[in-house]
Structure 1
Amino acid sequence: MSEPLLQIRNLSKRFETPRGTVHAVNDVSFDIPRGSITGLVGESGSGKTTLGRSLLRLIEPSEGQTIFDGTDLNRLDKSGLRAARRRMQIIFQDPVSSLNPRLRVRDVIAEGLRAHGIGNARSRRDKVAELLEEVGLSADHMNRFPHEFSGGQRQRIGIARALALEPEFIVADESVSALDVSIQAQVLNLLLDLREKRNLTMLFIAHDLSVVEYLCDQIVVMYLGRVVEKGPSRPLYRNPSHPYTQALLSAIPMPDPGLERSRTLLKGDIPSPLHPPSGCVFRTRCPKAAEICAAGTPEPVTVGQFHQSYCKRIEGRHATT
């Protein structure tokens, strides 16, 4: 793999509530190689969105490091973070609520340019026209309001807004989950084209593993705030080692209805992050759980090249071989 643009080290985010402490993200570490697309997957409530926003300090992390091109973002003051944010942007999940309905498209896209004092009114207008063309819309659309567009077109506007400051890194937070399948494919292909054209690095957050397999170079699997498996996309899909990853992959629909896949059905719901299970956080739903799984947090075990799994049973097997 290439040199990482982003290094996440022991990142945690906790929220204090009247009922106790919510462990939304817990001791997460992984790298995002420069020019790659890293997929972040897991069920709803696993901490994916909180992690993505914590990386950009849209939510302040509780502890840990986010090292972006050699600089720890979590140690930057307000002015330093403002400068760094020109290099990092986000595409939000909901293309309706993320666009200000009172602003015309030209003002939505140019908002970041104005905030950073880039260009004048004419140059910003020209930039907006270029961005609209780049994401597959017409420059004539800049004078319309967001409600005049379809869901897929609104997401393209959101992508154009994210590109306005020429970022190097983009967090795409469930950016196709609200779209029809045919529109999803168009937006995914657009993201791939933009990655190649602009040499972008992305964190693509999703729950649809078939989409992630198509788009991403490496995968990070999260459950209840913790990473349970991570590795290059193809080896991880072909040989998932963690029981949670195996269950997620077994739920992907087969394109041929005549083919059958062995399903791993998980019992119950994801536990509350207020009171996560001891030891392995997945053990209360794991079909392979054993007594050892309650004893201590699993350590990462290398199961292939750049491929690691956080499982006490795997850890135990490696310890005896």
Structure 2
Amino acid sequence: MSEPLLQIRNLSKRFVTPRGTIHAVSDASFDIPRGSITGLVGESGSGKTTLGRTLLRLVEPTEGQTIFDGQDLNTLSASELRDARRRMQIIYQDPVSSLNPRLRVADIITEGLRAHGIGNRASRRDKAAALLEEVGLQADHMNKFPHEFSGGQRQRIGIARALALEPEFIVADESVSALDVSIQAQVLNLLLDLRERRNLTMLFIAHDLSVVEYLCDQIIVMYLGRLVEKGPSRPLYSDPRHPYTRALLSAIPVPDPARDHSRTILRGDIPSPLDPPSGCVFRTRCPHAADICTEGVPAPVETGPGHHSFCKRTEELYATA
């Protein structure tokens, strides 16, 4: 892979509440290569969205570094961060609530341009028209309101808004999960086309592993705020090395009734981030848990080029697989 555009080092986010401290993201470290699409997967409540927003400083980190093109975003002043935001954007999960119902599409798409003082009204409208056509809509749609569009069309408007400032990096937060399957495929193909045309770098957050496999170059798996496995897409899918990843992949439907497909059913529910388990956070649900799993947070074990598993029994389990 190419040199990383983003380097995340020991990034953590904790929320202090009257009930205690929520450990939303704990000690996350990984790279996002320039021009790649990195998938971030895990169950609901695993910290995916919080991690994505913390990278952009939409949520302030508690600890750690987010190094974007050699610059640590977490040390920037408000004015410096404002300038950096032109290079980073987000596509939100809900295409309904993420669009202001009182604004016309042209105003929604060009809101960032106005905020940064880019162009005049005429040039911004021209930009909105071009972006609408680039994402598969018609230029005259810019005079309509969000309620006049379908869910897939609204998401395309959200994508056009994210592209308006010509960003280099985009966080796509569950950006197809609210869409029908056929529309999902169209939006995924659009994201792939945009990556090629604009040399975009993306963090694609999702819970549908089949979608992530289709789209992403590398995968990061999270559980209860911690990374449990990361690596290139193909080896991670063909030979997962962490029990949690194996359980997630076993849940993907196989469209062949003649093929044997056994599922790994995890016992219990995901623990509360207010009181995560000691040692390996997955040990309370892991079918291979042992006493060693209580002894400190697992360090990453390299099982292949760029492929790491955060499991104390990785080598043992792999040897007997």
Shared fold (TM-score, shorter chain, > 0.5):
yes
Unaligned 5+ segments in structure 2 are none
Q: Which structure 2 residues correspond to residues 252-267 of structure 1 after superposition, within 5 A?
A: 252-267=252-267
The alignment partner of 1:302 has SS state of strand
Which stretch of the first structure deviates more once superposed, 84-93 or 253-262?
A: 253-262
Identity of aligned residues (%): 83
| 1:218-265 C-alpha deviation (Å, 9 max, x unpaired) | 000000000000000000000000000000000000122332312110
Indicate whether 1:103 and 2:103 are aligned.
Answer: yes
The alignment partner of 1:90 has SS state of strand
The alignment partner of 2:156 has SS state of helix
Distance, in Å, in 2 between the alignment partners of 1:156 and 1:317 is 44
| 1:19-60 C-alpha deviation (Å, 9 max, x unpaired) | 100000000000000000000000000000000000000000
Report how far residue 315 of structure 1 moved: 5.9
Distance, in Å, in 2 between the alignment partners of 1:292 and 1:191 is 43
In the other structure, the counterpart of 1:24 is: 24
Distance, in Å, in 1 between the alignment partners of 2:254 and 2:262 is 11
Distance, in Å, in 1 between the alignment partners of 2:244 and 2:115 is 43
Indicate whether 1:234 and 2:255 are aligned.
Answer: no
In the other structure, the counterpart of 1:69 is: 69
Q: Which amino acid aligns with 1:305?
A: P
In the other structure, the counterpart of 1:132 is: 132
Indicate whether 1:11 and 2:11 are aligned.
Answer: yes
Quote the RMSD (CA, aligned, Å).
1.0
In the other structure, the counterpart of 1:121 is: 121
Distance, in Å, in 2 between the alignment partners of 1:87 and 1:256 is 44
Distance, in Å, in 1 between the alignment partners of 2:80 and 2:249 is 41
Q: Which amino acid aligns with 1:18?
A: P
| 1:94-118 C-alpha deviation (Å, 9 max, x unpaired) | 0000000000000000000000000
The alignment partner of 2:106 has SS state of helix
Distance, in Å, in 2 between the alignment partners of 1:38 and 1:83 is 24
The alignment partner of 1:124 has SS state of helix
Distance, in Å, in 1 between the alignment partners of 2:302 and 2:133 is 45
The alignment partner of 1:80 has SS state of helix
Distance, in Å, in 2 between the alignment partners of 1:204 and 1:139 is 27
Q: Which amino acid aligns with 1:283?
A: R
Q: Which amino acid aligns with 1:27?
A: D
8 A Cα contact 1:39 1:212, kept in partner:
yes
Indicate whether 1:153 and 2:161 are aligned.
Answer: no
Distance, in Å, in 2 between the alignment partners of 1:257 and 1:133 is 42
In the other structure, the counterpart of 2:185 is: 185
Distance, in Å, in 2 between the alignment partners of 1:28 and 1:181 is 31
| 1:109-162 C-alpha deviation (Å, 9 max, x unpaired) | 000000000000000000000000000000010000000000000000000000
Distance, in Å, in 1 between the alignment partners of 2:306 and 2:317 is 19
Q: TM-score, normalised by structure 1?
A: 0.98
The alignment partner of 1:312 has SS state of coil
Which stretch of the first structure deviates more once superposed, 262-271 or 189-198?
A: 262-271
Distance, in Å, in 2 between the alignment partners of 1:317 and 1:152 is 43
8 A Cα contact 1:11 1:64, kept in partner:
yes
Distance, in Å, in 2 between the alignment partners of 1:316 and 1:60 is 39
Distance, in Å, in 2 between the alignment partners of 1:31 and 1:24 is 20
Q: TM-score, normalised by structure 2?
A: 0.98
Q: Which amino acid aligns with 2:159?
A: I
In the other structure, the counterpart of 1:212 is: 212
Which stretch of the first structure deviates more once superposed, 273-282 or 251-260?
A: 251-260
In the other structure, the counterpart of 2:37 is: 37
Report how far residue 314 of structure 1 moved: 1.9
Figure out how many residues of one structure are paired with residues of the other and give that number. Answer: 318
8 A Cα contact 1:299 1:315, kept in partner:
no
Q: Which amino acid aligns with 1:86?
A: R
Q: Which amino acid aligns with 1:272?
A: S
Q: Which amino acid aligns with 2:186?
A: Q
8 A Cα contact 1:254 1:260, kept in partner:
no
8 A Cα contact 1:229 1:245, kept in partner:
yes
Distance, in Å, in 1 between the alignment partners of 2:4 and 2:241 is 24
Distance, in Å, in 2 between the alignment partners of 1:79 and 1:248 is 42
Q: Which amino acid aligns with 1:172?
A: A
| 1:62-96 C-alpha deviation (Å, 9 max, x unpaired) | 01000000000000000000000000000000000
Distance, in Å, in 2 between the alignment partners of 1:209 and 1:81 is 33
